[in-house]
A and B are shown apart, each in its own frame.
Chain A
Amino acid sequence: MFDTLIFSLIVGAAVGFSAGYLGSIMVLEKMALVGDAMSHVALPGLALGVLIGFSPQVGGFIFLFVSAILIWYLGRITKLSFETLVGAAFTLALAIGILMYGNNLDELETALFGDIAKVDLTYAAIAVLIAVAVVFLTRYIYKKIVLGLISEELAISKGVNIAQTNLLYLLLVSVTVAVGIQVTGTLLVGFLVVTPAAAARIISRNLSKYFVLSAVFGTISAVSGILLSSALNTNLPGPLVVISGVIIFAVVLVVRRAKKMMD
């Protein structure tokens, strides 16, 4: 039990950090809901893993990965926004996923809300490795993405391939969401991409601070949610991760208001 808690905390910290870091870009791109909606696309993949008998996370990742490429490609040829395309895809994926689970309600509950009791050493090690890779690759693309947000012409004239950068970004979101599902479930994993970054945005006056705070708030939300879940003796930390994150957001907001009033 103690081992499981340690492994869960490691996974939570890794996912919280990388999701918060990635999410900071998503909030800048005004695509917060894309991260949330994209997480639901994993559901049919998770179901497939359960039905066929391989790791649901791998199934979820494959579905997210393929969906991300499809959405990126459709975005290029139709010029529709990611938001529109993801919005269209995620309800369909949710519907198919629920149908695939059928009467297997326990597994469906795990997929929707996560289950840290199933986290082991291997999963924790993979989560850390993936988080390190995600943070490293995000660092590589964030300047390009920010420059593209400021001015597409400036970015392209500096040699940035916007289409390729967006594809890599979507893939990073896919892999982070796939790993995070075990902690918060598909329904709530989008939270880790959005709320920590939103809290960081309120108090950041430069990008370095903003990115670091997003990652730190993501880590604190995930770790404190898991600790609370353990204290309350539940295997469903997702809702508590969300509540912890919202408390951080509220505290940041109150502190900022108080500081402004004192100035």
Chain B
Amino acid sequence: MEYADDYILKVTNLKVEIQNQIILENLTFKVKKGTTLAIVGPNGAGKTVFFRTLLNLVPYTGKIDWAGKVKLGYVPQNVSVKDIPISVKEFLSYKDVVDVKAALAAVKLDDPAVPDKTLAVLSGGQMRRVLIAWALLDNPDVLLFDEPTVGVDVGGEESVFSMLSELKRKRNITMLLITHDVHLVKEYTDELLGLNKCVTYFGDSQQIVEPSLQQKIYGETVCLSP
């Protein structure tokens, strides 16, 4: 269905139970097209399960309504590449990519040596970019990004974020980011979803700097680093 109100995703009373344990319940919120939603919560809050639910990988009750035929791109938190001798070129070829260079240029990986490198030797930032390139190949309307800063050094974080912002502007992609990074939430997202089995906060992401909100989301005070 197409929403007249420009929402791309409506989640209503979502509940996920795995092996008789409630992982998520009473999730109700909406995401506007072209915005970036940060999903924040303590470990074990069900954030990754929520993504898996959006990808239709786990059974759920309640409603997940996408506006029309929405294509999802997914960038996972963890990939196991250490023991697999797969090159960047080969990995991208799994999506029938003809122009590997163009796919990598889209994520600002212009080094001509990158396509022949094995995934195992890439830096954290390069790996993230390759995974983003993989996700972008389907021209997604929505990008689900699990922990963008994991394994990326401090300088690399900023360049990954600015690249994502540029992509968002150029392609009008809606992004859902799971993160613990307060700086990322404040600088690069529009709305914030506090998640701890249920919604603990939903609103303006700029409020993340408020200690009272962090207390609410994490259950303990988290100070913003200067």
Interface residues, chain A, with chain B CB atoms under 8 Å away: 28, 30, 143, 146-147, 149-151, 153-154, 156-158, 201, 204-210
Chain B's interface: helix, strand, loop or mixed, by majority?
A: loop
Residues A206 and B79 in contact, CB atoms below 8 Å apart = no
Chain A residues whose C-beta falls within 8 Å of the C-beta of B72 in the assembled complex: 157
8 closest Cβ contacts across the A-B interface?
A: A206-B87, A151-B79, A151-B76, A204-B85, A207-B86, A157-B55, A150-B79, A153-B76
Task: Provide 19 A-B residue pairs closer than 8 Å at the C-beta atoms, listed in order of the A residue.
Answer: A28-B83, A28-B84, A143-B94, A146-B84, A149-B80, A150-B119, A151-B78, A153-B52, A153-B55, A153-B76, A154-B79, A154-B134, A156-B57, A157-B57, A157-B72, A157-B74, A206-B89, A206-B116, A209-B85
Q: How far is the CA of A257 from the CA of B219 in the complex (A)?
A: 54
Residues B85 and A206 in contact, CB atoms below 8 Å apart = yes
Decide: A153 near B57, CB < 8 A? Known: A28-B83, A146-B86, A204-B85.
Answer: yes
Contact indicator per residue, chain B 188-221, by CB within 8 Å of chain A (1) or not (0): 0000000000000000000000000000000000
Q: How far is the CA of A206 from the CA of B83 in the complex (A)?
A: 11
Residues A206 and B86 in contact, CB atoms below 8 Å apart = yes
Of residues 93 to 129 in B, which have CB atoms within 8 Å of A's CB atoms?
Answer: 94-95, 116, 118-119
Neighbour of B76 across the interface among A149, A154, A204, A210, CB < 8 A: A154
Residue of A nearest to B95 (CB): A158
Decide: A205 near B85, CB < 8 A? Known: A143-B94, A153-B55.
Answer: yes
Chain A's interface: helix, strand, loop or mixed, by majority?
A: helix
Verify if B81 is at the interface (C-beta below 8 Å from A): yes
Most buried by B among A157, A158, A208, A210: A157
Chain A residues whose C-beta falls within 8 Å of the C-beta of B85 in the assembled complex: 201, 204-207, 209-210
Number of residues on chain B facing chain A (CB within 8 A): 24
Chain B residues whose C-beta falls within 8 Å of the C-beta of A208 in the assembled complex: 90
Chain A residues whose C-beta falls within 8 Å of the C-beta of B84 in the assembled complex: 28, 146, 149-150, 207
Q: How far is the CA of A154 from the CA of B57 in the complex (A)?
A: 11
Most buried by B among A146, A201, A207: A207
Residues B76 and A206 in contact, CB atoms below 8 Å apart = no
Chain A residues whose C-beta falls within 8 Å of the C-beta of B83 in the assembled complex: 28, 30
**Min distance, Cβ B137 to any Cβ of chain A, angstroms:** 11
Residue of B nearest to A156 (CB): B57
Chain B residues whose C-beta falls within 8 Å of the C-beta of A209 in the assembled complex: 85
Q: How far is the CA of A195 from the CA of B79 in the complex (A)?
A: 26
Q: How far is the CA of A209 from the CA of B84 in the complex (A)?
A: 12
Q: How far is the CA of A147 from the CA of B94 in the complex (A)?
A: 8
Q: How far is the CA of A158 from the CA of B73 in the complex (A)?
A: 10
Most buried by A among B81, B89, B94: B94
**Min distance, Cβ A141 to any Cβ of chain B, angstroms:** 13
Chain B residues whose C-beta falls within 8 Å of the C-beta of A201 in the assembled complex: 85
Chain A residues whose C-beta falls within 8 Å of the C-beta of B91 in the assembled complex: 150
Contact indicator per residue, chain B 38-58, by CB within 8 Å of chain A (1) or not (0): 000000000000001001010
Chain B residues whose C-beta falls within 8 Å of the C-beta of A30 in the assembled complex: 83
Contacts A146-B94, A205-B87, A205-B116 known; 9 new A-B pairs at CB < 8 A: A146-B86, A151-B79, A153-B55, A154-B74, A154-B134, A156-B57, A158-B94, A205-B85, A207-B90
Q: How far is the CA of A207 from the CA of B91 in the complex (A)?
A: 9
Q: How far is the CA of A210 from the CA of B76 in the complex (A)?
A: 26
**Min distance, Cβ A76 to any Cβ of chain B, angstroms:** 15
Residue of A nearest to B119 (CB): A150
**Min distance, Cβ B112 to any Cβ of chain A, angstroms:** 16
**Min distance, Cβ A13 to any Cβ of chain B, angstroms:** 25
Q: How far is the CA of A230 from the CA of B95 in the complex (A)?
A: 48
Chain B residues whose C-beta falls within 8 Å of the C-beta of A154 in the assembled complex: 74, 76, 79, 134
Q: How far is the CA of A61 from the CA of B107 in the complex (A)?
A: 49
